[in-house]
Amino acid sequence: MTAVDTNVLIRILIEDPGAVLQMQSARALLAKSEVLYVPRIVPVETVWVLESASQN
């Protein structure tokens, strides 16, 4: 089982040209994992990060 934190989830979701290696690593982790564990707080934090970024 692979645990996913907010940083990993954000890297999977966005196309950040300044963090291409992190994005590729996060997506590779997702692709090879059969079971993912996402703690309850991670989706909440992800929404907060994405909303904060869109307001700037």
pLDDT digit string, tens, across residues 1-56: 999 999 999 999 998 889 999 999 999 999 999 999 999 999 999 999 999 988 86
- Report angle CA 10, 3, 50 to the nearest 5 degrees: 15
In contact, 48 and 12? CB cutoff 8 Å? no
Model confidence, pTM: 0.79
Give the SS3 label for residue 56: coil
- Residues comprising the chain, all counted: 56
CA atoms within 13 A on the CB side of 49: 15
In contact, 6 and 53? CB cutoff 8 Å? no
